Each structure stands twice: as C-alpha cells, then as structure tokens.
Structure 1
Amino acid sequence: MDYYTLVILVSLIGFLLLAALLLIPVYRFLQREDEAARRFTDAYLQQQQTLHSDGATDPNGPVPPTQT
C-alpha cells in the first residue's frame, strides 16, 4: 500500500466520522420534533372535537365576510 492510498483512506474515514458526528444529533433532534408534533396534533384534534362535538363553530372565532 503506497502513501497516497493511505492518505485517501484516512481522509475518507475521517470525513465519514465527522459527517456522522455532525448529522446524528440533527437526525435525533428531527425525530424528537416529529414525535412531539404528532403528539400535539393528536391532542389538539381531540380537544377540538370535544369542544365542537355538535358541529357548531366557535362563537369567538372570525366573522365571515358579508355578501354584497
């Protein structure tokens, strides 16, 4: 094995380790955020369904525009 091959292999391994070191925490953060969003969405939808179970709209909500 000549010197250039050794340098190439060490550089490649170093690059892969650095990429893993930087990308694994980002991936884990995105997974946690996705799970939190999923839980929030389920809880929010259940809350809205119980509040508006009769199909009525929120009385404090926005007023629809008038027809002219």
Structure 2
Amino acid sequence: MKVSARNCLKGTIKSVTKGPIMAEIVIDIGNGVTVTSVITAHAAENLGLKEGKTAYAVMKSSEVMVAVD
C-alpha cells in the first residue's frame, strides 16, 4: 500500500460498531493507544473490516489544533 498521507498508523481492529448509515471503527495501534474513526457502513462492509484484522489509520489534514485547560 502506498499513500501520500504523512500519518499512517498500523494497528489491529479492536471493534466495529455498525449502524444503518455509519460505522465506528476502533484501531489499537499499540501501547494502550487507540484511534477511532467513523466511516460509512458501506465502506466498512467493502473493506471487510472485522475485529482482529490488521488495518491502517490514515490521517491527512492541513491543520492540527492543540488545546489546554
């Protein structure tokens, strides 16, 4: 797989929660860190996303905001 995004984190799918339109995908990237994504249920089905499968969290953004209390 080749992708232009700078942030591509490999992990294992921890959970897939499908709704009628959207699906929430939680990817364990190690050391107790997870990344959660919400994608269409159709995309989740097409990708064959299932618990335990290897997947990549790919993030591409022109801006990352940082906040503190």
Q: Using structure 2 for the length normalisation, give the TM-score.
A: 0.18
Which of the two has greater strand per residue?
2
Higher helix share: 1
Q: Which has the higher contact order (CA 8 A, sep 6+)?
A: 2
